[in-house]
Amino acid sequence: MKRSISLVTTLIFFALNLNATVIFVKQGGTGSGTSWQDAIGDLTTAMFVAQPGDEVWVSSGTYYPTRNPKNRKAYFSIPSGVKVYGGFQGNEHSIEQRNWKNNKTILSGNIGSMDDYSDNCYTVVFFKNTNEQTLLDGFIIADGTASGTGPTADPERCGAGLYVDGSGEGNSANPKIQNCIFQNNFARDGGAVYLNGRGGQCNPTFLHCEFLSNKVDLDGGAVFNDGRYKGAASPTFFNCVFNGNQGNYGGAICNYGGKGTSNPVLRKCVFQNNEAYLRGGAIFNMDVEGQAKPIINDCQFIDNQSVAGDQVYTFSKMQPERNSVRADYKAN
């Protein structure tokens, strides 16, 4: 879809690319983004003008992909090679000075009625074919509602908080997401995050992230890793927390390796109070005609529940009723 570029946006684009590598964003800002005093007020505009190698610094507050309550398809699109940092007070001169825990920076899909989730954005943040230098750091990502009825893997029904697209032959998406909280997102598949590696490569890294109270109609209460059609969706999760997520298969995570691979690496993660209505209270692996074998090291599984496999459940065509995993974990 082509975007119409206003004269103001065009001028901002040229101003930023002449000598600025940091773009400043602050609620109520009316400037061109060259400093906190000259901050842009619209995060969507900042993302649009950012170039590979740029950093976007965002001060505390709540930001929406659009203020048009009828535009549920709107989302924050992170360009490849751009680093986006939240958690600033609005006067810092270095990344080290920010306090992302105290200066809450929220990316919200609640663009319509505050009490009605049915008019929220389908997904809040979108990555497509982004490299390893692409970063999202220090945000709360909340209230996405991917309640659409499109085909499998459609962003209108998957990944309400974050959708990462590396699908298609020759494509890849491997961004880094750290110090982020995903909460109260709802989808058909992948309540908080959907990683689309179908026919391509989708292997992002999540560091020090929390997945809280996300829910799906179908599978992957927090995360759905889709490596089907000779693709790969094998992310890394380090020091992450999954708490209170719900789904049919995989209360927290669903790994689907149908004719492809979904072998995520999970290290020092905590899975607590997640629920699967059918199988895999914490993690469900579907490796039919493919491979779904997570590597789990030094993780804790606490009070997860399901009809079958409170912690981890693997379904294989060769052994269709297997409650096992290649792992080294503690189930408390």
Per-residue pLDDT reduced to its tens digit, 247-300: 999 999 999 988 899 999 999 999 999 999 999 999 999 887 888 999 999 999
Edge-to-edge strand list for the sheet holding 186-187: 145-146, 186-187, 215-216, 246-249, 275-279, 305-308
pLDDT band for 234, please (50, 70, 90 cuts).
very high
Phi, psi of 152 (to 5 degrees): -55, 135
Percent of the chain whose pLDDT exceeds 70: 89
Q: What does the domain layout of the chain look like in residue ranges?
A: 122-331
User: What pLDDT score was predicted for residue 112?
Assistant: 80
Structure tokens at 162: 């974050």
Give the pTM.
Answer: 0.89
> Are 281 and 309 spatial neighbours (Cβ–Cβ below 8 Å)?
yes
Phi, psi of 273 (to 5 degrees): 60, 30
Positive or negative CA dihedral for 4, 57, 178, 175?
A: positive
User: In terms of pLDDT, which residue wins out, 13 or 239?
Assistant: 239
pLDDT higher than 90, residue 214: yes
Spacing of C-alpha 81 from chain mean position: 17
What is d(CA 306, CA 251) in angstroms, rounded to the nearest whole number?
8
Q: Which residue type, as a one-letter code, is found at position 171?
A: N
Q: What is the pLDDT of residues 85-140, one digit of tens each?
A: 999 999 999 999 999 999 999 999 999 877 777 889 999 999 999 999 999 999 99
Phi, psi of 49 (to 5 degrees): -90, -15
Average pLDDT, the chain: 89
Percent of the chain whose pLDDT exceeds 90: 78
The H or E element spanning position 32 is none
